[in-house]
Amino acid sequence: MINEKIQQRIRELAEQYRPAYEEVCHEIFLHPEEGLKEFFAADYITGRLQEAGFRITRPAGGLETAFIAEYGEGHPRLALLAEYDALPGYGPLKDQWGHACGHNWIAANTWGTAMIMKDLLDEGLVSGTICYVGCPAEETIGGKVNLAEAGCFDDMDAAVQIHIGSGSGAYVGGHALALNGIEVTYHGVSSHAAGAPERGVNALDAAYLTFDGVNALRQHVTPDVRMHGVIINGGLAPNVVPALAVSRWEVRAAERATVDELERKFLNIVQGACLMTGATSEWKYFENKFDNCVNIAELNELFGQGFAFAGEAEIHTEPRGGSGSTDVGNVSMVCPTAFSHLGVGNTDGSGAHQEEFLPHCDGPEAYAALFRAVLAQTYFCAGIAADQDLQARLSAYKQKLPHWQKTEQPQ
């Protein structure tokens, strides 16, 4: 537990910077951008941090809208995992982008924590380096995977993120499924579907049979498994036997090893569908592979103390339920990571990604939750920066992490 002087200073600075991080939340909300195209967000955030004296490295991990902003010197090096990409499909015509997952809110709570930690470092209350890591495209390719592969977290002692959630309460600990995104392309033979059907090889039938095979496999998997797919190309005319079909699948499970085994079974199903139809196929990963979150009990305990410090009424020590995936899991494979959800307090039943949740990601209730998030997250970071024994234990934890490496794609 950090001493009373540091606690008091965190409270004072959280109030002092409150209008500024609420402004960050609002500005990013007003400028929703597609993943890997978050140029306003990256320019806006880096500009403000640079004015405050942060050292900016951009691009990072080979991604133009990724960056690392650092303040301080030496260890511990603490990574704040910021996000700022938006989602498509909102508005009357469903053609607008919006921050229905609250990434504007995540960008703001990490910004607030970075500024408070900067002042604590300047005042000599803690030591080390605070690193605001700008992580693009969480909703699509998972930019943190690229950053992890590029070694951006190799020298970090700990990483942290609080994600906005629906309802109330803080959920301490990461719960995310490992995920492989697989695209299958089926090749057949085109022919007139009525005049010469015997000459055709139906690639779309092979895609359909893959769905049938996956549905049969669902009887023989553990409850944590999720397998879901779409056909993105199934032919253009009903009177022509489709010579090309393309489907995309996401295979998820609670552990990376389970997903890799499911991938093997899935590809056997694809091969069987091709044998039944005479089609051929090829496949690739259409997005980065996401890993499950590695939880460290001691970090979760410190995070819980941070939420108590913030005055959070409900603190759940078990991870929030659900079956989503996040690239935070990939960070947790190479760096001790704390990941939590904080409810925004909405009572309408809406949740992340729904259009009805958009108003809860910017405005009074979002800002109230934002204040608590900044308090809790800063307490967490200061708790590590002020405790050399904990830093030594984090080093030991880090040596035991799986150190995930991306599997080579087949050609």
Closest CA to 83 of 130, 154, 129, 25: 25
What pLDDT score does 284 carry? 98
- Of the candidates 285, 313, 334, which is a domain's last residue? 285
Say if residues 289 and 180 touch (Cβ distance below 8 Å). yes
Say if residue 403's pLDDT is above 60.
Answer: yes
d(CA 61, CA 145): 9
> 227 lies in which domain range?
178-285
Mean pLDDT calculated for residue range 129-153: 97
* Residues 91, 52 share a domain: yes
* Residues 138, 21 share a domain: yes
In a domain, 408, yes or no: no
* Residues 324, 278 share a domain: no
d(CA 35, CA 388): 38
Closest CA to 109 of 305, 328, 314, 376: 376
- Of the candidates 229, 264, 285, which is a domain's last residue? 285
In a domain, 407, yes or no: no
What pLDDT score does 409 carry? 37
* Residues 237, 148 share a domain: no
What pLDDT score does 406 carry? 45
* Residues 91, 25 share a domain: yes
What pLDDT score does 317 carry? 83
Mean pLDDT calculated for residue range 226-231: 97
What pLDDT score does 15 carry? 98
Residue percentage of the chain with pLDDT more than 90: 94
* Residues 11, 154 share a domain: yes
- Amino acid, single-letter form, for residue 128: G
What letter would DSSP give residue 346? -
**What's the pLDDT band for 19 if we cut at 50, 70, 90?**
very high
End-to-end, the C-alpha distance of the chain in Å comes to 52
In a domain, 62, yes or no: yes
**What's the pLDDT band for 318 if we cut at 50, 70, 90?**
confident
* Residues 10, 137 share a domain: yes
* Residues 74, 21 share a domain: yes
Residue 360 CB contacts under 8 Å (≥ 6 apart), including other chains: 102, 164, 166, 344, 346, 350, 366
- Of the candidates 236, 265, 285, which is a domain's last residue? 285
**Phi, psi angle pair for 294, to nearest 5°:** -95, 115
CATH of the domain at 201: 3.30.70.360
Q: Could you give the number of structural domains in the chain?
A: 2
Mean pLDDT calculated for residue range 23-44: 98
pLDDT tens, position by position, 260-314: 999 999 999 999 999 999 999 999 999 999 999 999 999 999 999 999 999 999 9
* Residues 348, 200 share a domain: no
pLDDT tens, position by position, 111-134: 999 999 999 999 999 999 999 999
Mean pLDDT calculated for residue range 16-26: 98
What pLDDT score does 335 carry? 97
**What's the pLDDT band for 1 if we cut at 50, 70, 90?**
confident
* Residues 222, 326 share a domain: no
What pLDDT score does 322 carry? 62
What pLDDT score does 175 carry? 83
The pTM for the full model equals: 0.93
In a domain, 410, yes or no: no
* Residues 20, 159 share a domain: yes
Letter string b/e over residues 171-189, b meaning 16 or more CB atoms within 10 A of that residue's CB = bbbbbbbbbbbbbbbbebe
In a domain, 227, yes or no: yes
Mean pLDDT calculated for residue range 71-96: 97
Quick one: tokens of 247? 């489907």
CATH of the domain at 13: 3.40.630.10
Mean pLDDT of the chain: 95
In a domain, 143, yes or no: yes
Mean pLDDT calculated for residue range 332-348: 96
The position carrying tokens 């259409």 is 286
In a domain, 243, yes or no: yes
In a domain, 406, yes or no: no
* Residues 237, 159 share a domain: no
